[in-house]
Structure 1
């Protein structure tokens, strides 16, 4: 049917249903602005089948976009959200051929509509992070073709998990995490023999697992399993044996489940082994204190790539057996424990380790001794990301060139002091160096300027006192082409603003809260790609020179 310049493929009943849905929606960002033309198959988020013109897909998740902002020396990677809100109108019952339905990350706030159970051709349903409250309607169990169901992070969904979900035999993906469910996990979930990914629990959850019913053992297709805040999991070690026998399991998360050393001692790890396929293990936010957990891991998993033991109470030296046995481990998260610097020796022989996060521990040693102990093994060649932030590490910045492949190093919020010695070399591939919130003095050595890959340098909240022109001269080796973010805020840097045009890729520069003075010379140029310049809280005189042009010179502090 022709209508002006449009070729109408849309079925009138379905178009009317979508317009009624739109009328019940608050759309502050005009996400549905295209919903005016006669052919609804051309509208944003709508897809129709070519054969019959029935609507088969409604894809309207909130849209996010990234932007960087600079405030008090922090570079924020921020997300802005474009969303719709209101109610999901029952007119959508007309879309009986709908197979794909995604309204995630919007703001509906009511209850999940019961009428969704009538859309019996649905294969994919995503209503995650929509602020729904109340209980899951049992009508969802009528969606017998459903393969994907995601109701995660609505926070105020409550009551019990309907046992009727166990009737969705085709389900391959089920995420009910991040809600406020209570009671026992229904054993009927054991009927979902096609399930590949299962995510249950969350920080608002009061879910429990039935201690005598081994329903999980039926889920032989599981590749991803996450239990978060399952309060009684610790009372039955037999569940861990059940999980260990799942033949295809690749990722296992047992977060905030009250697991402790006593839990590990209550069974013999030699009685079982995890599947060879297990590559990611997350045991964060539990109550482990002794390194025996490392022994358990190395004795029961052989191909682990990622291990998260952050937010426990771990301390002490781990046996060298762990480092030698973990010959696939790439990511190790040990933040928020009580390790000391000498305990790093245990990890120096993990020759595959790319990322090590030790922030927020109990390290009080000198940085040179910590790094010397750690750099004695092969890990110094493999390590790419290394965080020692939020400790009480002392000393100054030693030569770091032994870590030849390091990309990111974070030494923030420690007790480093003194001048950075001239000639201190950085790793040749270093991209980000963060040493904020310490007590470093003097300036920046020339050797920093010879790091040709350096993109971010954060020396804010220290006691640097060198002339700004000298600092930029020292950075004007090959790093002048690579630097994108430079923060020197909250120091005691003197001098005025030099010509910065040689730093051709610099996007963010924070010089606020220093002792800069005098006039900015007319003709002083800024980098051509600069987006944010912050020079507040100095003693600069006069105005902004015309040579700054229209460069964005705003900061948020």
Structure 2
């Protein structure tokens, strides 16, 4: 009975439970009812006011209409109270990328936020990141949203002062003010210490240079787990930190700050909970402190870009959780074997990133190494590591990045080094003395994104194994001793390539006409210094850097379009025709070098507000057949630094607008054209001009006195800043963020100039910035050489030859202390050669021939060492000059150099007279004896009888003596 009673009671309970559940509304119906409920009217009005204050060009807030604001995009309400608790208006990710441009602002929300936002007092989550508020200040009223737990204003282009009212947000757990590219600042972070619930803080790239209390403010937050303060202009203001509440901190990022202090002591080495530490490029110096070995929770350590001395501390072996160690560009010294020995062996199965790029590490790679089973990246590029490549490299099966470039490795790369690396994505061995020895039919297991074997020996045959790399982004096999035809299959694998460098080989063949279709993603291509023939192909739309110079290309220039082209080099080919007007469609062309071809016609005139000349830095058209007047399109080239129009057929006067329109010009080369008229005085107002070559034209008139105002030639360091920037002009591309720092494909373009100096034609491809020259030779210039020319103390070459200059050589010419070559020949200069010329101790070439100079030639210092083979050639054609090295002496036998010289001349003359008298007396005496014997017969007989008698006596004496000697012996 008891059991039956229990079963009845149990059944009754189940029935009642089913009835209750049947009468209860379902979860879905509850959600439907809540979703159908309208939001609170006051909060809806606040949101409508906020929308009215914001700019929204793409209509991202178009759903904000109707009565129920809880259904609006980005608005989230509480299921129980209907209050707005979350407002998420973040922009798309690509608005936040580093390459954000003004054009992207059209897709972003912006404007000035309405204070109506304060009406959302129950708001817990506010995200306005990745928008564009045009450097407006962060509104103070955000500090009134007391319920906020999450605030993200990152990359929203806020500026101005960060409101200290944010310290009122006592419930805040997450705060992200990363400015990305804005300029907000805070003079003090005392408000930060009131955010006692904060776990996440990001104030990267804000201006905290005046916030001397930043360490104390951060250290006072007991729940803080993640801190990002990179690029915030922090100062090392630790002072005395008595107490720190940082007991849960896991991530500390203070990279890109100007601490400029010893890395030890510092305030964070005692935080043993850290798993992530980033001190990159923060001006730290000295050894890594021993205390780092006690931070056993560390998993990722980034100390690159500092000045670290010595090796890593030996107790780093305690870091058994270490996964990433980045010491790139830190001036680390030592032997690579010792460095490897100090890595924690207990973490070798966890280590996946070792980056020692660009240090001073030497020695041979260890011949053996315990397997680093998890290693993903090994970057030893840019060191002094020697020896051969050990075979244990091939045992790193999980390796995706192998970068040993720019070392001193020698020997061979065998197939065994590579065939067991199936995950390899980056292979960088450039700039070593390595040879790749693999079978011609080898098919690698890896699929590379980046292959860089620059200056390795791959040839002479084109490496056939590359054909299996179907997803390659970067291919650099330049200077690789390849002497072969370009295989057809190569173009088939380059559909995904962005970077291609096969320069400095002996590649033959033609380029595909549809290169734009074959390499649609190509933005950097360098095929220079080969033997490629045929026409120039169509240019890829995304191309930024294209160098086809020093080949055998022919035909005409390609049609240009609205490409991204920034550098175009086609010099030393056989291109003919004219420059197409479509060049004007290229908006951002910085360097154009089409010199050494057969181009003709005039330079196209482009729209003043658009076109390639607007941002051009270097233009080289020399050695063609261009004609017309000075290109008027250059009036828009405010940034032009390098201009070479030499060896063409340009004519007309030099324009007076040169200084006004080309204020940045540092090198001007107009040699061997048909320019006429005077040298514009305005030309000498270009302050950065340090190389001026107007030689071999029809320029007349006088040399402007204002030429002495060229200040770039008056600096003792001898170069303009603008030409220095041109020499370091480069274009680079990091292939992927994943391998950032592992491979950086960089091309530096080198402009080439052929210079006539020191009576030689010299070609400069490097060191252009150090050339300080003036060449006005082979013109019709008249008048005198400006007396103030000595103010140009940095001049290295001065050539005024083959003109009709008159007057005297400036007496203070010796003040140009850097002068190496001086040519004033073939003019009408008169007077004496200034004695100060002997002060030019750097002079190695001098030519003053064929003038009307007179007087004694100065001597001293290095003047006696010039033109050793023919020293007189420096002065020939000046009939008034005298003294060494010319054969004619000076009147009065007086020199300025030796007071004993007159006496020496007198002694030499006396000795010559004595010698002449002796010779004359001997001849006269001899003839007197001959004449007496010829005329007096008796004396003649007596003389010859006497000679016969003497001969007889001598013969008898010799015979008697000889016989006595024979009998004796």
1:317-396 counterparts in 2 under 5 A? 317-321=602-606, 325-330=611-616, 331-339=618-626, 342-352=628-638, 354-358=640-644, 360-362=646-648, 372-376=653-657, 380-382=661-663, 384-388=665-669, 391=672
Residues 150-161 of structure 1 mapped to structure 2, 5 A cutoff: 150-154=452-456, 157-161=459-463
How many angstroms does 1:354 deviate by? 0.2
Give 1:252 shift.
2.7
Task: Report the CA distance between 1:224 and its aligned residue.
Answer: 1.4
Instruction: Answer yes or no: is 1:7 the counterpart of 2:314.
Output: yes
In the alignment, what sits opposite 1:172? Answer: 473
The one of 583, 588, 595 aligned to 1:310: 595
- Please give the secondary structure, in 2, of the residue aligned with 1:459: strand
In the alignment, the residues of structure 2 paired with residue 396 and residue 86 of structure 1 have an alpha-carbon distance, to the nearest angstrom, of 64
Per-residue Cα deviation, 1:343-366 (whole angstroms, up to 9, x for no partner): 434544444460444365145x8x
Does the CA contact (< 8 Å) of 1:256 and 1:286 recur in 2?
yes
Please name the residue that 1:401 is paired with. 682
Cα deviations by residue, 1:379-438 (Å, 9 ceiling, x for unpaired) = 743451333266377989835433644533331875899997462435655446413594
Aligned with residue 495 of structure 1, among 818, 822, 835: 835
Q: Which has the higher contact order (CA 8 A, sep 6+)?
A: 1
Are the equivalent residues in 2 in contact too, given 1:55–1:97 (CA < 8 A)?
no
Matched-pair contact (CA < 8 Å) for 2:625–2:648: yes
- 1:255 is aligned to 549
Could you list the per-position Cα deviations for residues 273-318 of structure 1 after superposition, in whole angstroms to 9, with x for gaps in the alignment? 6344222222323322332x232423x5343332221121123333
Q: Which residue of 2 aligns with 1:22?
A: none
State how far apart, in whole Å, the 2-side matches of 1:94 and 1:516 are: 76
Looking at structure 1, the residues matched to 625 and 457 of structure 2 have their Cα atoms a distance apart, in angstroms, of 31
- Aligned partners of 1:218 and 1:39: how far apart in 2? 45
RMSD: 5.4
Match among 560, 580, 590 for residue 294 of structure 1: 580
State how far apart, in whole Å, the 1-side matches of 2:685 and 2:347 are.
54
Query: Following the alignment from structure 1 to structure 2, what is the Cα–Cα distance between the partners of residues 112 and 335?
Result: 44
Distance (whole Å) between structure 2 residues aligned to residue 441 and residue 140 of structure 1: 73
Distance 1:391 1:383 in 2: 24
Structure 2 partner of 1:547: none
In 2: Cα distance, 1:314 partner to 1:258 partner: 15
- Per the alignment, residue 929 of structure 2 pairs with none
2:812 corresponds to which residue?
470
SS of alignment partner, residue 583 of structure 2: helix
Residue in 2 aligned with 1:182? 484
Give, in angstroms, the shift of residue 192 of structure 1.
5.4
Q: Partners of 2:640 and 2:347 in 1: how far apart? A: 46
- Name the SS for the 1:217 alignment partner: helix
Partner of 2:843 in structure 1? 510
In structure 2, relative to structure 1, the CA distance for the partners of 1:62 and 1:105 (3 Å cut) is: farther
SS in 1 for 2:501: strand
Number of aligned residue pairs: 443
Q: 1:352 to 1:380 in 2, by over 3 A?
A: closer
Q: Counterparts of 2:438 and 2:534 in 1: how far apart (Å)?
A: 24
SS at match of 1:425: helix
State the distance in 2 between where 1:279 and 1:314 align: 21
Residue in 1 aligned with 2:103?
none
Compared with structure 1, are the counterparts of its residues 252 and 335 closer, same or farther at alpha carbon in structure 2 (3 Å cutoff)? Answer: same
Aligned to 2:94: none
Which has the higher Rg, Structure 1 or Structure 2? 2
TM-score by length of 1: 0.60
- The question of whether the paired residues in 2 share the 8 Å contact of 1:6 and 1:39 is answered with no
Matches within 5 A, 1:415-430: 421=703, 423-425=705-707, 428=710, 430=712
3-state SS in 2 of match to 1:328:
coil
**2:796–2:820 CA contact under 8 A, matched in 1:** yes
Partner of 2:522: 222
2:566 maps to which of 279, 294, 302: 279
In structure 1, how many angstroms separate the alpha carbons of the residues matched to 2:426 and 2:643?
A: 37
**Residues of 1 paired with 2:422 and 2:356: CA distance?**
15
Q: Would the aligned equivalents of 2:790 and 2:812 in 1 still touch at CA under 8 Å?
A: no
What is the alpha-carbon distance in structure 1 between the residues aligned to residue 337 and residue 485 of structure 2?
A: 49
Offset at residue 140 of structure 1 (A): 8.4
d(CA) in 1 for partners of 2:801 and 2:662? 30
Structure 1: gaps spanning 5 or more residues: 12-30, 64-80, 476-482, 501-507, 521-532, 543-557
Q: Aligned residue for 2:904? A: none
For 2:425 and 2:388, locate their aligned partners in 1 and report how far apart those are by CA, in whole Å.
22
